[in-house]
Chain A
Amino acid sequence: MNLLFIIMAPLFGALLPLVLKQAPRSVKTLVTLLITIASILTVLQYAPQTLAGEIPKQLVEWLPGLGLDFAVRLDGLSLLFVGLILGIGVLIIIYAHYYLSEADDDARFYGCLLLFMASMLGIVMADNILLMWAFWELTSISSFLLIGYWFHSSDARRGARMALATTGAGGLALLAGLLIIGNIAGSYQFDQVLAAADQIKAHAYYTPALILVLLGAFTKSAQFPFQFWLPHAMAAPTPVSAYLHSATMVKAGIFLLARFHPVMAGTELWFTIVTVVGLITMLIGAYFALLKHDLKGLLAFSTVSHLGLICMMLGIGTQGAVVTAMFHIINHACFKAGLFMTAGIIDHESGTRDMRKLQGLMGLMPLTATLAMVVAASMAGIPPFNGFMSKELFLDQAVQQHLFGGLSWFVPILATVGAALSVAYSIRFIHDVFFNGDYKELPKKPHDPPRMMSAPVALLAGLCVIIGLAPMATVSGIINQAASAVTAIPVEVKLSLWHGFNVPLLMSLVAVVGGIVIYSARDQLFTFNRQFDGQDAKHNFERIVQRINDACARFFDWLDTGSLQRYMAFVLISVIVILLPTLMEISAVTGSNPQLPIDMVSMVGALVLIAAAFGTATLHRNRFVMLMMLSVVGLMVSLSFAHFSAPDLAMTQLVVEVVSIVLMILALFFMPQKTARASSGHRVFRDIIIASFIGGIVATLNFAILTSPLESISDFFIANAKTGGGGTNVVNVILVDFRGFDTLGEITVLAIAAAGIHKLLNKLKPFMPSSDVDGRPWHRIKHPLMLTNVANLILPMAMMVAVYIFLRGHNLPGGGFIAGLIAASAMILQYIANGVDWVKDRFNVNYQSLMSIGVMIAALTGVGSWIFSKPFLTSWFTYLNWPVVGKWEFATALLFDLGVFLTVIGATMMILSNFGKMTTRHRPTYEGN
């Protein structure tokens, strides 16, 4: 067992409920429960150490280059949150078992719940701030899945989307903040960050870093002005709300404030922002909580309000305030989870959560009512429950602070108002639902739920009482450690229910009385508030989203016109714009290499090439002529390879040229033979300018490269080709041996392209002209005698040449690529001369299989070297003494080259023969679709 197990158990355990999809729900609940309990047991192993003031840590290297390690710690603050996450988690799992209906997908629910639990644990235990951020984002995603659990409801989808958008955006801000902090501290490990606290606070980037981190915290914890998403997240199933919005998700923001308190707090900026935001949030939340008619809506806003209270305490940041914050985190989790579950029970049993419909349920569900009263009293801050104590401490802090100089007296008054509102909505929760007259007709006649469904609530209510009566025995230890972690100095708390007659008690009394008064005047409040009805956060949010969408749509309409010409022009102009300034900075492009003299052959060749290139471009409207010009270009390219000492390239280019021109002529059969004049003079002029610039840039770059000295790694290849690869043709040895893996990839690409073409041609009904553009019908003789005879003569010779070229390739110019292309072009000549059907009758090879066999041979040759425990594609060669032939070299590279050879034939023939078949009247039907 180790620390990581606490996170890993639910993280990987999340898959278990999904695997057990078919099992009955009780099995899934049990499994989920066991996973959680396994985590809890691990925590209990380490808890004594933490409570004794040590910090258990564990580090597993993950991406050390990025400063991101899988480092976890379990200090007091972590332990406090881990306890809440796992403890409340167990209760939620039990509760959900009864809450979810038969139709709900419980596997998905438990899976998402465990994932969420794991990511929360990750946040609070992370010892590396980047790791913490990763888990932070994971909570955003998993909570999105949980809030949108009932995805058939548009409210759920909308609520989930809003939560994700808000917390996700905050998460990005947080990342930016953390990167700044990590940069200043020089590490992302929390200890180093903590050690650099003074440095961070003094740094020029402190303000932006703080604001970014606070944005993350405030969005997550629904602090003003981001409080709007939380009430809409109430579309989630109640167990989710109870979990996410009492103990976990929204507390993550609070955790972040607490975690970074020792690093970033203590400055004027922190005090002001955090305290004021907390105070405002507390008041706004409490006010809106009172106005909501929906039980969960009330609880949601009350959560906002209580989070504001905690946030304000962390803003004040004195030792007492931090203790108050920690204490209230525990208390709030207890009573709020209980209240949410109660709301869920009421909804589950009666079919509604609307307080205007519910009343007088006391007689029908007495147990639920009793438990509800306990937890609600704790929320209102009535003694002897735990909520009373933390509220007393809070009021005490409000009195003691002097943050706003002469106006500091505002704070205790506003705190009392907040407390009074809290009392008012607590009363409303209880009085409206359980009393307020007799039971009225509801969708379902409510009664107390199954015992196990109330058990979690009972447990939480019990906790409220026990913590309230014996705080020192129950929570003081953990609060000590947590507060020490937050303030970075050891803390010893004294908690007791009774503090004597003092100012906070007086304020509490005022609050209770005020709460009762506010509650009795609630109808006036509702009326008053009706004038603001149009101001719904959801509508505002959606209007903003809609506006962003519209702007994007307009931008895309402008950008994405569906015109390839336009896109190409964009791309090419960007190339020019990006390259030109850089090129202009270079003072001289001519390097130190001496230039070769120009010989006559090169001169003529270059002029022909240039003329043909211009011809291709200018005569493009007559497509056949253009193709002829293109073939001249290809031929000249091939000759220039030959001239500049690249015989292999020359041969390859020559054969490829033949094959591609044949293919294009074939394609031209299905296309218009001529292009109408479409481009305006203006457009042509623009294109010429673009083309000239690009051409000029390429020429300049090429010249610069050619004249600069060469430092090549090729000496290695030249030195080792014979000794290591067993061949004298270095180019071929590179292809099949040194860089064999590249070649394997390339023939695979070729095969994929051929397969793609095969599919493209499937069920194609091409436009079939019966005559050429001038109206002349095709010649009635389809297969001219001369061509047929010559082709028949050439085929065996070409095959022989192919085999020869293939075999000699390792030592002299040649090899699989070239041989394959030669064989393929001889075959194509057969097709041209005799027609598809004629060839098919005589030579019926499935080119698809041929191609696949080729790739497989090449791959298996590579795998073969594993048998001799050598790395993939290690080659081996020997010399055999063959009769007649004499001494002859055999290399495994030859086998690899055979794969290349077959793939090239297969792919080329597949492309051309399939396409050729289109021209025959009896088109074969394709298998498959």
Chain B
Amino acid sequence: METLYSVTVGILTACSVFLILRGRSFPVVVGITMLSYAVNLFLFSTGRLTIDGAPILGTQESYADPLPQALVLTAIVIGFAMTAYSIILAVRARGEIGTDEVNDQNNSTEGKR
């Protein structure tokens, strides 16, 4: 099971990284979102994998580690805030400069300084 889990997380990461390396804003944002899923899964798994061990007191013999769960819960919400922010940044950029390219098109040394 652990092997399957880590392979899945690895593939998820690889696919997100590939998307993040694309040249348009939308795939990049999707890549970031998917990477946050992979990261959440990774962090969650630092508590190791437990089946039927939800950390609700009085229901189980032994419990899954609740600490990573609590951390990942807030990470999911913050991840949403980040996704929202970046997607709206992308829309704004498209509205302002008329393209969704992530590379500076008219990059010249004069323009930057």
Contacts and interface: CB of A to CB of B under 8 A. Distances in A.
Contact of A595 (B1, B21, B40, B45): B1
A484 B93 CA distance: 71
B92 A761 contact: yes
Interface residues of A, number: 116
A880 interface: no
A807 to B, nearest CB: 15
B84 A563 contact: no
A894 B73 CA distance: 17
B11 A671 contact: no
Contacts of A757: 84-85, 88
Interface centre among A565, A699, A710, by most chain B C-beta atoms within 10 angstroms, is: A699
A88 to B, nearest CB: 44
Nearest to A554: B109
Interface of A: 553, 557, 560-566, 568-569, 572, 593, 595-599, 602-603, 606, 609-610, 613-614, 616-617, 620, 623, 626-627, 630, 633-634, 637, 640-641, 643-649, 652-653, 656, 659-660, 663-664, 667-668, 670-672, 675, 678-679, 687-688, 690-692, 694-696, 698-703, 705-707, 710, 712-714, 717-718, 721-722, 728-731, 734-735, 739, 742-743, 746, 749-750, 753-754, 756-757, 760-761, 764-767, 811-813, 817, 821, 904, 907-908, 911, 915
A777 to B, nearest CB: 21
Contacts of B51: 596, 643-645
Contacts of B30: 616, 620, 626-627, 630, 664
Contacts of A735: 70, 73-74
Contacts of A606: 4-5, 7-8
Interface string B6-35: 111111111111111111111111100110
Interface centre among A566, A643, A694, A696, by most chain B C-beta atoms within 10 angstroms, is: A694
27 contacts: A593-B48, A609-B12, A613-B15, A623-B27, A633-B37, A637-B41, A646-B64, A649-B73, A664-B29, A671-B94, A672-B100, A690-B21, A691-B15, A694-B17, A695-B14, A702-B6, A702-B45, A710-B65, A714-B66, A717-B67, A718-B66, A728-B57, A731-B73, A750-B81, A757-B84, A757-B88, A813-B54
A663 B22 contact: no
A734 B81 CA distance: 22
A753 B57 CA distance: 35
Nearest to A706: B2
Contact of A702 (B42, B80, B113): B42
B86 to A, nearest CB: 10
B98 A630 contact: no
Interface of A is mostly: helix
Given A602-B1, A649-B44, A671-B91, A694 B13 contact: yes
Nearest to B2: A706
B13 to A, nearest CB: 4
A565 B21 contact: yes
Nearest to A904: B77
Interface centre among B4, B40, B47, B74, by most chain A C-beta atoms within 10 angstroms, is: B74
Nearest to B77: A817
Contacts of A597: 1
B104 A620 contact: no
Contacts of B9: 698-699, 702
Contacts, number: 317
B43 to A, nearest CB: 10
A735 B71 CA distance: 8
A547 to B, nearest CB: 17
B98 to A, nearest CB: 7
Interface string B76-113: 11111111110111111011001010111001010011
Contacts of B98: 767
Contacts of B102: 563-565
Contacts of B28: 564
Given A656-B80, A690-B21, A904-B77, A698 B13 contact: yes
Nearest to B75: A746
Contact of B74 (A743, A761, A766): A743
Contacts of B27: 620, 623, 626, 675
A660 B74 contact: no
A713 B99 CA distance: 50
A671 B90 contact: yes
B2 A663 contact: no
Contact of B34 (A616, A648, A653, A765): A616
A626 B65 CA distance: 34
Nearest to B5: A706
B50 to A, nearest CB: 5
Contacts of A648: 69, 73
B52 interface: yes
A738 to B, nearest CB: 8
B104 A663 contact: no
Contact of A698 (B2, B26, B42, B47): B42
A695 B81 contact: no
B12 to A, nearest CB: 5
B17 A572 contact: yes
A707 B45 CA distance: 10
